Amino acid sequence: MIDDVLGPSLDVLFCGINPGLMSEATGHHFARPGNRFWPALHLSGFTPRRLAPSEQHLLPRYGLGITNVVARPSAKASELTREELVEGGRRLAALVAEVRPKMLAVLGVSAYRTAFACPKAVVGPRPETVGGAPVWVLPNPSGLNAHWTLAGIVEELRRMREHTGR
């Protein structure tokens, strides 16, 4: 299990689908070298420099946190069951209600659709809330997600950042 990165007064709680095997091995979120989360976070203006996965503990000083929908590591998110995603959605809603971030950012539209029974959800702001927080669905930053380029992920993160007034 990989620990959540949480802090007081979070502006954004980022939520990955589940840890990859590299994250499991290192104990750090988005640890695979081809993952675009850390470069996109910096290039979109959320952090003043590109952080390494091993620096995830610095995120709360920027008002940011990280968790996952499902705690079980896997080589690919497609290995998760529908039941795991739905249960993970319930756990995430409870965590969000407790931590109370200003925004929940879910990194993976397919996982969001399943976890929250929103089959037509698309990337962008959502009309519903999760655990009382507004939701923005973002592209999965995994290098396996060929539908999105780094530039596209950065632009969507920037759009969310500007929407939140950061």
Structural domain includes residue 79: yes
Structural domain includes residue 78: yes
Q: How far apart are CA 149 and CA 129, in angstroms?
A: 27
CATH number of the domain where residue 74 is located: 3.40.470.10
Q: In what order do the strands lie in the sheet with 12-16?
A: 64-68, 12-16, 103-107, 133-138, 124-130
Structural domain includes residue 59: yes
Structural domain includes residue 33: yes
pLDDT in tens, 79-111: 999 999 999 999 999 999 999 999 999 999 999
Q: How far apart are CA 27 and CA 75, in angstroms?
A: 15
Across residues 117-138, what is the average pLDDT? 97
Average model confidence (pLDDT) across the chain: 95
Structural domain includes residue 130: yes
For the chain, the residue count is 166
Q: How far apart are CA 160 and CA 147, in angstroms?
A: 19
Does position 120 have pLDDT exceeding 80, yes or no?
yes
The number of beta carbons lying within 10 Å of the beta carbon of residue 16 is: 27
Does position 144 have pLDDT exceeding 80, yes or no?
no
Predicted pLDDT at 64: 98
Across residues 113-117, what is the average pLDDT? 97
Give residue 155's domain range.
Answer: 12-163
Domains in the chain: how many in total? 1
Does position 166 have pLDDT exceeding 90, yes or no?
no
Grade residue 164 by pLDDT with cuts at 50, 70 and 90: confident
pLDDT in tens, 52-68: 999 999 999 999 999 99
Q: Minimal CA–CA distance to 111: which of 147, 134, 77?
A: 77
Structural domain includes residue 2: no
Grade residue 77 by pLDDT with cuts at 50, 70 and 90: confident
Structural domain includes residue 63: yes
Does position 145 have pLDDT exceeding 80, yes or no?
no
Q: How far apart are CA 144 and CA 137, in angstroms?
A: 18
